Amino acid sequence: MSVTGISLILFLTFHCCMNVAAFFSGEAYNMVCEFLGTNWYALVGTMALAVLAVCHIVYAFILTAQNRRARGSERYAVTDRRPEVSWASQNMLVLGIIILLGLVLHLYNFWGHMMFAELADIEVAHSPSDGFAWIQDTFSNPVFSILYLLWICAIWFHLSHGFWSAMQTLGWSGKIWLKRWQMIGLIYVTILMAIFAFLVLSFWLGFAPSL
């Protein structure tokens, strides 16, 4: 869970850096899309990412089932949440399911119309390499924009706990570094998700750059 989680955070960081180009120039963003496209390295990266995501999801269900078996039919005798236990840590599976549903939507809107369309030679509304046009189309739709913002919020809650929890599980934490990792994770994840949210809002509200 920790290794796959950190790997997925690194991918989100790459994805965020890629999306920053769309704030300044549609041509720049499309250059990045064309560089990736259906090239062998993009295909290998996509397959590796899919394996990481599946492993992370499967282990999430396995660990949740193990925890429930360990507690037995009776849940905790005390249900009050301690101050140091975050809401996110108690709802990681629920947040994960919401994120998974958002991922399906995201794959449909972008991967399905871009990489998959190019691989399958399917005719779509825009060129598969015109990622900027797909961003414009998707986020000009208020329903999609709201769903994406909710998805981003769910990811923020999930990662705000998952970041430092992964460090702790890997043994990179302790009495001194626990609070530091929590603060580093909170700042890092907040910046990451804020950039994604701003991208959605900028295209939805119409102040994003033109191609």
In this prediction, residue 109 carries a pLDDT of: 95
User: What amino acid occupies position 84?
Assistant: E
Q: pLDDT of 97-112, one tens digit each?
A: 899 999 999 999 999 9
HEC string for the chain: CHHHHHHHHHHHHHHHHHHHHHHHCHHHHHHHHHHHCCCHHHHHHHHHHHHHHHHHHHHHHHHHHHHHHHHCCCCCCCCCCCCCCCHHHHCHHHHHHHHHHHHHHHHHHHHCCCHHHHHHCCCCCCCCCCHHHHHHHHHCCHHHHHHHHHHHHHHHHHHHHHHHHHHHHCCCCCCCHHHHHHHHHHHHHHHHHHHHHHHHHHHHCCCCCCC
In this prediction, residue 72 carries a pLDDT of: 64
In this prediction, residue 1 carries a pLDDT of: 86
Q: pLDDT of 72-125, one tens digit each?
A: 655 544 455 555 456 777 777 788 889 999 999 999 999 999 999 999 999 999
Mean pLDDT of 193-198: 96
CA distance 132 to 145: 15
In this prediction, residue 138 carries a pLDDT of: 96
Mean pLDDT of 36-64: 90
Q: pLDDT of 132-186, one tens digit each?
A: 999 999 999 999 999 999 999 999 999 988 898 888 888 877 778 888 888 999 9
Mean pLDDT of 10-18: 94
In order of their start, the domains of the chain are 1-210 (1.20.1300)
In this prediction, residue 52 carries a pLDDT of: 94
Could you identify the residue written with the tokens 């290794």? 3
